[in-house]
Structure 1
Amino acid sequence: MKGLSLPVITDPPVDHREVEAWLQTLGGPVWLMLEGEDDRRCRVVTTLLHGNEPSGTLALHRWLVERPRPRTRLAVLLANVRGALSHPAFTHRHTPDDRDLNRCFQPPFAGPAGELARSIIQDLESWAPECVIDLHNTSGNGPAFAVATHRHPVVEALTGRFCEQLIVTDLRLGSLMELPLTVPRLAGCPVFTLECGGALQPAARDVADGLYRLLAECPDLTALPSAPGLEVLVHPLRVELRPGASVAYDRSPRPDVDVTLWARIDEHNRGVTSPAAPLGWLGHHGLACLQARDGDGREHVGELFCVRKGRLHARRPLRIFMATTNSEIARSDCLFYAVPLA
């Protein structure tokens, strides 16, 4: 393990304590390395890049009790341990004095989060893994889905076993899944994000648990057959507040904000959003308080939405993902992602 940037715990012992107590013993970001039958090969799972997305960690803690022996080495990263343990536990995306780690996987790697991202990249380069899967929870309740920067047969075979949609995005935000585009030694490596579902949904932990087991038990990922029924959606649009705009969530319009989104907007994370369904209410600035840019920075908000009697509606059927009811995340990150359907 010479040359690695982060601590590595090999074959971590079984720990029956509560997960928070277990994380306290780790002391910070750490790799847990499960030695496999074939130690010449390595597969990687990253978890807890966001401290309020615990399903990957909870499933790992439960699975380690079984003392698994994978077919290959399996390296699992527990990244933002400090953010996860900030009181109350598993509620902080990151600590107030730091940046969103999953926006730091590109230069200049500034601050503690940037330095951590650079260390993770160095470790991944050292291992030349067969795959890298970044486990997350969705910001609101909803089904599991996957996100990648391009189509790859291994990505599609894996994601099709845990979700019904794979989103292929051209948006570049500095996330971990973009590394094959920027790190030559990771070019060609199947890397994707698996959004397991809402942090409080028991099914989300089951998705993460299933992924660990599949990666541990499958001898050859390239031989996995394609999963039938996987829907591949391309070029999502990132719907955000414009700078200075305000948002709230309620069951009726709030006169003191620019955008009042429906209190259960995360219900639109399932199925297709019809133009007939109101998404919320807009103030006197109307659509001017929103933006929806593609990967080239082009604006599409007027193509996606319209205003009817002060209500926000889709102009055409949409697939909506990552709709949150957390106003802090809505302001600092985005309201949701949308893919227009023909």
Structure 2
Amino acid sequence: MDAMRLAVLRDPPVDHDDVGTWVEALGEATWIVLSGDDDRRCRVITTLLHGNEPSGVLALHRWLAERPRPRTRLAVLVANVEAALIPPHFTHRSVPGGRDLNRCFRPPHEGAGGALARAIVEDLQAWAPECVIDLHNTSGNGPSFAVATLRDPWLERLAGQFCERLIVTDFRLGSLMELPLVVPGLADCPMLTLECGGALQPEARTVAGRVYRRLAEWPDLTDLVPNPDLDILVHPLRVELRPGVSIAYAREPQPGVDVTLWARIDEHNRGLTLPDSCLGWLGAGGLAGLQARDARGRDRLPELLCERQGRLHPRGPMRLFMATTNVEIARSDCLFYIVPL
């Protein structure tokens, strides 16, 4: 089977005022490649790996209308166009029945998602970029933050230009930012995920726009200065549903449901969550419906959460992030991440 080749548009005009119409005109995963003052160097931004996370492409559409001229060649990938165009636009994380594209970057590259991921990897290897920033929206409302796969001063300086929190994770899920760990040709390429905030938050588009402008304008990435306010959290734990466990989001426990999470649990994506916080309610099975495995596969849930009179509480102070109120994401991915303090 022939390898997939991605569409490439070089220095394209923006012919549509409406971003949905513009993405329809793209029609497929597409690289937008902008010529730079120094085309010997390349920087990469990826966006829309999840079709329901549009802030990156919204900011791109607005920014391209300004006819920018980057310092280096800048390649921007609009990735999961097929999922994004399923009506209504920008509401489907992935194509129904298909794999999560941001879980397809680890071999074997199976199915349509795997073929697309492999094509992205091949293009990145050919371009040998100075850095890659992968733009996402959080699955619930909350502040922007960056995610990296290792502690590295250069990545910390890069993250600190766009947000005030960096999560260093040891989970290996097959995401794009893990490529330097598994693709020898990309081992020296710094890759960072930037969660810009919730898809409906206007601030998220502002954060994404800042990435395009700064990567285009910076003469030399080695000159970045550290952000003294950057908060670094290491090795978060994913809280997940066990198979077959039912979930709902509400303001009171739902009859017959195994886990009812607080309807606005995404409010905990900001600040500190304390032991007196009620995160939701548990059915007859109690905590048995939940798990929080670390990167070694150990279930750490009993160290993190407890049940008090049918309510779900933290055992101690912690930071929550990526808490979602979307039932489908809760079932297919996770409920939230925790870093105990």
The verdict on a shared fold, with TM-score over 0.5 as the criterion, is: yes
1:32 aligns with 2:32: yes
Alpha-carbon distance in structure 1 between the residues aligned to 2:184 and 2:336? 31
8 Å Cα contact 1:46/1:135 also seen in 2: yes
Alpha-carbon distance in structure 2 between the residues aligned to 1:256 and 1:338? 27
Alpha-carbon distance in structure 1 between the residues aligned to 2:231 and 2:170? 17
Q: Report the CA distance between 1:298 and its aligned residue.
A: 1.0
Q: How does 1:49-68 map to 2 (within 5 A)?
A: 49-68=49-68
Q: Report the CA distance between 1:255 and its aligned residue.
A: 1.7
Q: Report the CA distance between 1:188 and its aligned residue.
A: 2.1
Cα-to-partner distance string for 1:11-63 (whole Å, 9 max, x where unaligned): 11133420011011112001000010000000000000000000000000000
Matching residue of 1:152 = 152
Alpha-carbon distance in structure 2 between the residues aligned to 1:4 and 1:186? 20
What percentage of aligned pairs have identical amino acids? 70
Alpha-carbon distance in structure 1 between the residues aligned to 2:321 and 2:224? 27
Matching residue of 1:80 = 80
8 Å Cα contact 1:132/1:192 also seen in 2: yes
8 Å Cα contact 1:152/1:190 also seen in 2: no
Cα-to-partner distance string for 1:83-120 (whole Å, 9 max, x where unaligned): 00100111100111311000000111111001000000
Q: Report the CA distance between 1:252 and its aligned residue.
A: 0.3
* RMSD over equivalenced CA pairs, Å: 1.1
Alpha-carbon distance in structure 2 between the residues aligned to 1:281 and 1:73? 52
Q: Report the CA distance between 1:4 and its aligned residue.
A: 8.8
Q: Report the CA distance between 1:300 and its aligned residue.
A: 0.3
Q: How does 1:173-252 map to 2 (within 5 A)?
A: 173-252=173-252
What is the one-letter code of the residue matched to 2:121? I
Alpha-carbon distance in structure 2 between the residues aligned to 1:188 and 1:287? 42
Cα-to-partner distance string for 1:140-181 (whole Å, 9 max, x where unaligned): 000000100012233212221221110000001000000000
Structure 1's unaligned 5+ residue stretches are: none
Alpha-carbon distance in structure 2 between the residues aligned to 1:188 and 1:169? 18
Q: Which moved more, 1:254-263 or 1:158-167?
A: 158-167
Give 3-state SS (helix, strand or coil) of 2:292's partner: strand
8 Å Cα contact 2:41/2:130 also seen in 1: yes
8 Å Cα contact 1:105/1:174 also seen in 2: yes
Alpha-carbon distance in structure 2 between the residues aligned to 1:37 and 1:302? 55
8 Å Cα contact 1:4/1:122 also seen in 2: no
What is the one-letter code of the residue matched to 2:169? T
8 Å Cα contact 2:166/2:233 also seen in 1: yes
Matching residue of 1:304 = 304
1:162 aligns with 2:147: no
Matching residue of 1:321 = 321
How many pairs were matched up? Answer: 339
Q: How does 1:272-291 map to 2 (within 5 A)?
A: 272-291=272-291
8 Å Cα contact 1:4/1:126 also seen in 2: no
Alpha-carbon distance in structure 1 between the residues aligned to 2:15 and 2:159? 30
8 Å Cα contact 1:5/1:122 also seen in 2: no
1:259 aligns with 2:296: no
Alignment TM-score, normalising by the size of structure 2: 0.98
Matching residue of 1:138 = 138
Matching residue of 1:118 = 118
Alpha-carbon distance in structure 2 between the residues aligned to 1:276 and 1:57? 39
What is the one-letter code of the residue matched to 1:290? L
8 Å Cα contact 1:34/1:75 also seen in 2: yes
Q: Report the CA distance between 1:240 and its aligned residue.
A: 0.1
8 Å Cα contact 1:4/1:123 also seen in 2: no
Alignment TM-score, normalising by the size of structure 1: 0.98
Runs ≥4 residues deviating over 4 A: none
Give 3-state SS (helix, strand or coil) of 1:293's partner: coil
